[in-house]
Amino acid sequence: MAYTTAEAQQELLDALAGAIEHAGRALAALGAAYEALDERNADRLEAELFGPVQLAYGRAKRTHAQFAERHGLPGRSFESPSPGVPSTGARGFIESAVTAAAAADAALAALQDSLLPAEVGDVELRAGITEVRERLADVRRSARELERTRGR
């Protein structure tokens, strides 16, 4: 399908917004998991999972806003999603976060694979996507390690 530049830019922005929503769900779930853990494990979760996801979420939102501004497109705000019900427990919240972080990464990978970022020629956007993916890269491994050693 042939796109006009404006259509390609809007599609990029929409795809990035989808990834941001996934990262927001991961962040909300990790916040709920933090509240359900003892202090030692909560501190580990914050350092190994929450911090990287929070940085990825912030970078993705900044990339979205700056891209929209550079190209005269409407920006948007992102609402904090609900993490789910408390009975999910720490393990369930962490699993939800891993799933949401993986979905964010997959959305960004699909966006990169689409070649739209290269076609639009926006170096800052490509750098932002790459940085977000790097921050999300270890979420699954870190979550597994936390769950494996939790309670020891």
Secondary structure percentages of the chain, helix, strand, coil, to 5: 80, 0, 20
Q: Which two tokens stand for residue 114?
A: 């689409």
Between CA 11 and CA 45 the distance in angstroms is 34
Q: Which domain holds residue 142?
A: 5-75+82-149
Q: Please answer whether residues 20 and 57 qualify as being in contact, where contact means their C-beta atoms are separated by less than 8 angstroms.
A: yes
- Collect all residues with Cβ–Cβ distance below 8 Å to 118 and sequence separation of at least 6: 126
What's the CATH number where 140 sits?
A: 1.20.1260.10
Query: For 35-80, what is each residue's pLDDT tens digit?
Result: 999 999 999 999 999 999 999 999 999 999 999 999 999 989 998 8
For residue 118, give the H/E element and its range: helix 116-120
Q: How many domains is the chain built from?
A: 1
pTM for the whole structure? 0.92
